[in-house]
Amino acid sequence: MNINKLRIFHEVFVTGSITRAAERSYVSQPAASKMLANFEDEIGYKLFVRNNGKLIPTDEALYLHEEVYGILQGVNHLEDSIKRAKNSKTGRLRIATIFGPSYQFLPELIAEYMKANPGVDVSLHLSGCSAIRQGIASGQYQIGLVDKAQSSSKHDSVAFDLACYCAVPKEHPAAQLDVIRPDDLQDLSWITLDSENATTKALKRIYAENGLSFHRSLEVHTTIHGLSFVNLGMGVTLVDILNFRYFDKVFQLSNVVLKPFAPNVVEPLEVLTSNLSPLSGHAKDFYDALIAKLEKQTQLITEEYHVNRP
C-alpha cells in the first residue's frame, strides 16, 4: 500500500479539505484527489462524505484512522532514524506515560538525560494504560509508565506503591489537621478517578470497614482535574506522593491544602519494558536512571509522609 495515499487520507481526515491536505503534503490538488480516490477504490468503501463544503469522515474512516496514524508515526520515526544514521547521531528514546509522571517528574529526568546524551532524540507520549502496554509489546515504545500492569509474556515490569495525600479546600477544618481521616470529611464529597482505579476501590473499602457512607460527586480522568475541582471547593481528592513532590512547582492552586491521609491509600505505578527484545544501550541508561530516581523519591517522600503521621 502506497504510504503517500495514507498521508493524504490522514491530512484530509484532520483538515476536512482536499486543498489543505494537498498543501500540507506538498502535492497538487488534482494529485491529492486522485490518490484519495485510488485509496478508496483499493479498500472498497468511501472514506468521506461532503457536507457544507467540508469532507466528513465516514464511520469506516474513523475506525481506520487510528491504525493509519500509528503507521505514519512509525514511518516518520524510521525516516528520522535514517537521517540520524547518516549524520552519525546516536539514537532515539521512546517513552510513553500516563498523565501524572508527565507533569514534572519525567521532564526533569529527560532534561538531565539529554544534557548528558546530546546525540539522543527523545519522544515522550501521553496515553492510556492499554495503549501503552500495546505500544511496549509492539516496539512502538521502549519504556512505559502505567497505573498497574497486567501480567504478560511480552512485558517486564517494576512496581512502586505511591502513598497518597488528601487534597482539601483551604478553608475546610480538615486543612488544619496533621493527618486527615475519613470521619473528618463527612460533610465533603469525594472527587475520584474511575471506579476501577486502585485508589477509588481502596477508599470505598475503607469507608465500608468504618461504617461510613462514601459520597462521590465527581469522577475525573486525571489528578489535575481532581485538584482543579478541589480548588473550586467542590470536594476532596487523593494525590500520590510523586505528584505531591512537585505540587508547588506545577499546580498554582491557592485554595488547596495537602495533608497525610489515614488509613494509608497507595497508588500503584509500574514501569514497563518489553521482554521480547533488550533495551538499547541509551534506553537502558535512561531506564536505570528512572528506576533509581523513583526508588529514591518514593523512599524519601514516604519517609517524610510517615514522619507526619501519628
Which DSSP letter does residue 104 get? T
Domain co-membership, 184 together with 148: no
Q: What percent of the chain has pLDDT over 90?
A: 50
40 to 1, 16, 151: CA distances (angstroms): 12, 16, 40
Give the chain's mean pLDDT: 86
Choose the final residue of a domain: 82, 116, 139.
82
Domain co-membership, 166 together with 262: yes
Q: Is 87 exposed, middle or buried (0-12, 13-18, 19+ CB in 10 A)?
A: exposed
* Nearest in space to 93 (alpha carbons), one of 282, 225, 265, 273: 282
Kindly state the average pLDDT of the residues 131-146: 91
Kindly state the average pLDDT of the residues 10-14: 92
pLDDT in tens, 236-282: 999 988 878 777 666 778 899 999 999 989 888 999 999 888 888 88
Domain co-membership, 204 together with 263: yes
Domain count, the chain: 3
Which DSSP letter does residue 223 get? H
Choose the final residue of a domain: 31, 62, 82.
82
Choose the final residue of a domain: 64, 82, 100.
82
Cis bond leading into 263, ω under 30°? Answer: yes
Residue 230 φ/ψ, nearest 5 degrees? -60, -40
Q: Is 277 exposed, middle or buried (0-12, 13-18, 19+ CB in 10 A)?
A: exposed
Domain co-membership, 76 together with 130: no
Domain co-membership, 145 together with 198: no
Residue 45 belongs to domain spanning: 3-82
Does the pLDDT of residue 175 top 60, yes or no?
A: yes
Domain co-membership, 198 together with 233: yes
pLDDT in tens, 76-119: 877 776 666 555 445 788 999 988 888 888 999 999 999 988 87
pLDDT score of 88: 44
Kindly state the average pLDDT of the residues 1-16: 90
Domain co-membership, 62 together with 142: no
Domain co-membership, 142 together with 281: yes
What dihedral do alpha carbons 141, 142, 147, 150 form, nearest 10°?
90
* Nearest in space to 272 (alpha carbons), one of 106, 154, 126, 175: 154
Q: In this structure, what CATH number is given to the domain that contains residue 76?
A: 1.10.10.10
Q: In this structure, what CATH number is given to the domain that contains residue 217?
A: 3.40.190.290
pLDDT score of 302: 57
Does the pLDDT of residue 301 top 70, yes or no?
A: no
Residue whose cell numbers read 515504545: 141
Q: E strands within the chain?
A: 48-51, 54-57, 91-97, 120-126, 143-146, 155-169, 190-192, 216-219, 237-240, 256-260, 266-274
* Nearest in space to 292 (alpha carbons), one of 175, 160, 195: 160
pLDDT in tens, 39-83: 999 999 999 999 888 999 999 999 899 888 888 888 887 777 666
Amino acid at 289: A
Binned at pLDDT 50, 70 and 90, residue 120 comes out as confident
Domain co-membership, 146 together with 14: no
Domain co-membership, 178 together with 263: yes
Does the pLDDT of residue 309 top 80, yes or no?
A: no
Q: To 10 degrees, what angle do helices 3-15 and 29-43 make? A: 110
Specify the pTM: 0.65
Q: In this structure, what CATH number is given to the domain that contains residue 127?
A: 3.40.190.10
| Least confident residue range of 6-10, 286-290, 300-304 | 300-304
Domain co-membership, 171 together with 194: yes
Domain co-membership, 104 together with 246: no
* Nearest in space to 57 (alpha carbons), one of 9, 21, 20, 19: 9
